[in-house]
Each structure stands twice: as C-alpha cells, then as structure tokens.
Amino acid sequence: MKKILLPTLFLIGLQANANGAELPGGCDDRTSGSHRLYGPDYVLKNASYRYELHTAFSYFGVSGRFHTDDSGFYAKDDIDISGRSHVGITFSEEPGSHDVWVQWGNFSPTSNCYSKSVVVQNNGPTAQFNSKSSGPVLYASVQNTMIDQYSKNSMEGDGRADIRFKFEHTDFTHTEYSNISKSESISYRPQYRGVYDIYAIISDGTFSKSLHLGTTLFTGAPNCQTCGPLN
C-alpha cells in the first residue's frame, strides 16, 4: 500500500482552521440601525466585553448565537422581550483585527447573520511622572508615554497618545482640565489660588490611564471667595 505524504504547510493549515472559524459568507457588517450587532471596536486581550444583538422585535424561543474567529461558536443567549440578546466575550486571540458575529432566526438559527470587526490590543496606554513645580504658574510633565500598536490612535490616528492634565483643588470642590493635546508637558494657571493635586490623563483613543503627578501650591491667582466650606 502506498503511503500518502501531505506537505507540512498543508498540515499546519488544517491545524489552524481547526482552532478557529471564518466569517460566514453573506454575513452583514451591520453595526447601526434597528437590527445590528453592538459592542466595542477595540478591546484588551484577556478581558471580557459585552456584545449585543439588537432586533426590532422580540422573538419567543429564539437565541442569538455569538461567534469569534478565534473560538468559533462562543455562547448563545435568548432574545428577550425588548429584542435584545447579549453575551460577555473574552478575547484571548493574538492582537490585531478579528471578527465577531451573531446568527439568529425564526425558522433557522443561521438565517440572519450580523458581524463587526474588533481590534484586540495587548495593553492600554502607559506613562511615567517626569516633573512638577509650584508658584504663579504650575508646570507638570510626563515622560515615556506609550500606546499599543493596535490601539485606536495607532490604527486610525497618528500613533501618539492624547494627553490631558487635571488640576484638582485640595481645599474645596473645584477641578479644571487642560485641552487635549499630544504634549507631555504643560504650563497652567488655574482660576484660584491654593494647593492642587495634578493628574495626567493618557488616552489611546479608547482606553485611558490617570497618573497622579503630585500636589503643589499655586500662587498666581486670588483665593476663591464663593467656593463654600473647606474640604
């Protein structure tokens, strides 16, 4: 009997297909309207996110069957009286662009299919404290700001983090924010004199990190006369 030897690459392909699934042909990329698949566009690896099937009507005894291209069939949930079906999906696949889809139907569980693309990223944004100073003008800065290569700002923008500084008065409830920019440093004059906690808010377009830069005294403005009792 002759032995049939399959090429190594073909065997690898069979193994890859067995571990995942392909988006079915004819599945609508539908993320708006009364019938749609709703959920985040960008997710963190190994974190769970809610994805919802939205329909215009309730369908008694009909389930939404949710899939990913990494797991194939993932989970199902009955459509409720408001026409909603949802599951929590944890993305363990490799970072990059992936597909999520839901199938449902009155007469066949696969007669309707809605899909959306999802980008999986490893990490949220990061940054480190650099410096701060007090006086008539407050100065604060961060350094080593980084965002994931599969974050929204990397995939759709300029590859840089959005940075905003927050100044929170410690004596009474008063908070000011700088404009969003790409700069890692700021010189800022709050409205009122006093001691402020300074924060840098780093965003990658989806996820954000708040970094406390310390407490400092601002002397370049009068005291607030109408800010109520001290904290």
Closest to 85 in 3D by CA, of 114, 111, 107, 108: 114
User: What does the pLDDT look like over 111-158, one tens digit per residue?
Assistant: 899 999 999 999 999 999 999 999 999 999 999 999 999 999 999 999
pLDDT confidence of residue 128: 98
pLDDT confidence of residue 8: 34
Entry field: residues in the chain: 231
User: What does the pLDDT look like over 194-216, one tens digit per residue?
Assistant: 999 999 999 999 999 999 999 99
User: What does the pLDDT look like over 146-196, one tens digit per residue?
Assistant: 999 999 999 999 999 999 999 999 999 999 999 999 999 999 999 999 999
Closest to 124 in 3D by CA, of 209, 183, 211: 209
Residue 9 has pLDDT above 90, yes or no: no
In the chain the first and final C-alpha atoms are separated, in Å, by 88
